A = this chain, B = another copy of it.
Amino acid sequence: MLNFENDYMRGACPEVMQALVRTNMEQTLGYGDDPYTAAAVEKIRVACGCPEAQIHLLIGGTQVNALAACAVLRHCQGVISPVSGHINHHESGAVEATGHKVLALPAHDGGKLRASEVREYLRAYWADENYAHMVEPGMVYVTHPTEQGGLYSLAELREMAGVCHEYRIPLYLDGARLAYALASDRNDVSLKDIASLCDMFYIGGTKCGALFGEALVVPRPGLVGNLFSLIKQRGALLAKGRLLGVQFDTLFTDGLYERVGKVALSAADRLAAGLSAKGYTFYAPPRTNQLFVIVDNTVIDRLRGQATFSLWEHLDDSRSAIRFVTDWATTAADVDALLELL
């Protein structure tokens, strides 16, 4: 079976797995109070260009997003998200379960918020004489890349940060697949740009080479207090915290995080080129490790039992959009084998 369904179907990339094996029998203190976590934090600070960043290594994306909302928002505040944002759609109401509303604005160009629309929403909120009866927007949530592979340009991200700054609310970036944005030719936003423009973000590990884990970064301390107790309270504190330390230490050593992204993008680019050559058209322009392709339903039948993918949307009676995803282990041979079937 050729698996292109998702980027969390395997374990960890070999370097990460080896590091876990190598350190397995060492004894360290728990809860992140270990040298591997300290090293990982230091390397992430360097990579972000933020020597004082507050960094917490956590387990999964939904957990991080809810914690971030919880840590930042005051009572009666909500978070602005594109209607297609992961927190609005695919996290079983995790943000609302912390008591906060997700304020959904239109999504553009594969799931992006538009800074101008965010500004207008904020302006209108504060101009409404009944604003105190409404949920106050207290944070802006963006994903990069978005759930449909959209990429903010540096100019767009800068404009969004400007709006947030103007209204004094934090900008939060969900980087579940950040490695695949950073490795894309179509991306002009660096990790340092993100750290400079966002008030809080996370660097995805689970989908980007780690066994599991996400690094929550608060570039300039002071936005949130110490999150340790909140992390514990929300069941997000790993007893053997060094497991996260070891993984991120490895991912941020010798450019592994970049390599992870490059391998997946190289496979995705090869697949996109092959699909174009065969005459396929795209539902969304190829940008990261997710390709959204328009196919006849007969193609779907043909692939069944030989390759996995996601059915994205029924377009009409005869055609659908399907999604192929590459990861840090997808080979050119895998891609070619898939192209053979198409």
Q: Which of A111-119, A187-195, A231-239, A251-259 contacts B (4 or more CB under 8 A)?
A: A231-239
Q: Does A341 contact B (CB under 8 A)?
A: no
- The chain B residue sitting closest to A1, CB to CB, is B27
In the complex, the answer to whether A9 meets B24 with C-beta atoms within 8 Å is no
Given contacts A9-B29, A93-B101, A96-B96, contact A235 B133 (CB under 8 A): no
In the complex, the answer to whether A211 meets B240 with C-beta atoms within 8 Å is yes
In the complex, the answer to whether A24 meets B3 with C-beta atoms within 8 Å is no
| Distance to closest chain B CB from A323 (angstroms) | 13
In the complex, the answer to whether B75 meets A70 with C-beta atoms within 8 Å is yes
| Distance to closest chain B CB from A20 (angstroms) | 7
Q: Give residues 20-68 of A contacting B (CB, 8 Å).
A: 20-21, 23-30, 59-64, 66-67
Q: Kindly identify which residue among B59, B71, B234 contacts A238, using a CB–CB cutoff of 8 Å.
A: B59
**With A and B bound together, what is the CA distance between A62 and B21 in angstroms?**
26
Chain A residues with a Cβ closer than 8 Å to the other chain, count = 75
List the B side residues contacting A70 at CB < 8 Å: 75
In the complex, the answer to whether A230 meets B96 with C-beta atoms within 8 Å is no
Per assembly, the copies of the chain total 4
**With A and B bound together, what is the CA distance between A236 and B136 in angstroms?**
18
0/1 interface trace, chain A 11-27, chain B, CB 8 Å (1 if under)? 11010010011011111
In the complex, the answer to whether A12 meets B24 with C-beta atoms within 8 Å is yes
List the B side residues contacting A237 at CB < 8 Å: 60, 62
List the B side residues contacting A228 at CB < 8 Å: 132
**With A and B bound together, what is the CA distance between A92 and B26 in angstroms?**
28
In the complex, the answer to whether B130 meets A233 with C-beta atoms within 8 Å is no
In the complex, the answer to whether A75 meets B233 with C-beta atoms within 8 Å is yes
In the complex, the answer to whether B97 meets A225 with C-beta atoms within 8 Å is no
List the B side residues contacting A9 at CB < 8 Å: 27-30, 240
- The chain B residue sitting closest to A5, CB to CB, is B29
| Distance to closest chain B CB from A62 (angstroms) | 5
- The chain B residue sitting closest to A88, CB to CB, is B101
0/1 interface trace, chain A 67-88, chain B, CB 8 Å (1 if under)? 1001100111010000000000
Given contacts A76-B92, A212-B238, contact A233 B26 (CB under 8 A): no
**With A and B bound together, what is the CA distance between A6 and B20 in angstroms?**
20
Q: Does A110 contact B (CB under 8 A)?
A: no
In the complex, the answer to whether B93 meets A100 with C-beta atoms within 8 Å is yes
Q: Does A229 contact B (CB under 8 A)?
A: yes
| Distance to closest chain B CB from A281 (angstroms) | 25
**With A and B bound together, what is the CA distance between A135 and B1 in angstroms?**
33
| Distance to closest chain B CB from A73 (angstroms) | 10
In the complex, the answer to whether B11 meets A229 with C-beta atoms within 8 Å is no
In the complex, the answer to whether A206 meets B239 with C-beta atoms within 8 Å is yes
List the B side residues contacting A62 at CB < 8 Å: 232-233, 235, 237
In the complex, the answer to whether B75 meets A229 with C-beta atoms within 8 Å is yes
Q: Give residues 88-135 of A contacting B (CB, 8 Å).
A: 89-94, 96-102, 104, 130, 132-135
Q: List 15 A-B contacts (CB under 8 A).
A: A11-B26, A11-B240, A12-B24, A20-B20, A59-B238, A60-B237, A60-B239, A62-B235, A70-B75, A92-B132, A92-B233, A93-B135, A96-B135, A97-B234, A98-B99
